Amino acid sequence: MACALLRELHFIEDTTGNKTAFYYLRDKEKHEVDFFIIIENRPAKLIGVKVSDDKFSSSLFRFYSFLKDAALLQIVYKLKHKKTKGPVAFVF
């Protein structure tokens, strides 16, 4: 997943000239988000990645309360049905 995201961010940099970066995000209470994408020094996406757990990540909602401009996405490898809850979308 990280390699695919890095490839996409390099594509954005090459075609638009916008500076991009992605980070692993974790706080002192051990809430974590797998990928925090920044484009032009602005939060763009918060992405959580799971293999088969189809429960919505509470960490995504926690960080979203601080980073309202970021889009939320949870990717689940073995997801049977797409679903959404508020600003979070599940994809497979």
Q: CA separation (Å) from 57 to 6, 40, 87?
A: 23, 26, 12
Number of structural domains (the chain) is 1
Determine the pLDDT at residue 81. 66
Determine the pLDDT at residue 83. 65
Determine the pLDDT at residue 92. 42
Beta strands across the sheet bearing 32-39: 20-26, 32-39, 42-50, 71-76, 88-91, 84-85
HSE-up of 11 (CA within 13 Å, CB side)? Answer: 6
Q: 12 is in which domain, residue-wise?
A: 2-91
Mean pLDDT by 10 residues, the chain (92 residues): 93 95 92 94 91 79 87 82 62 47
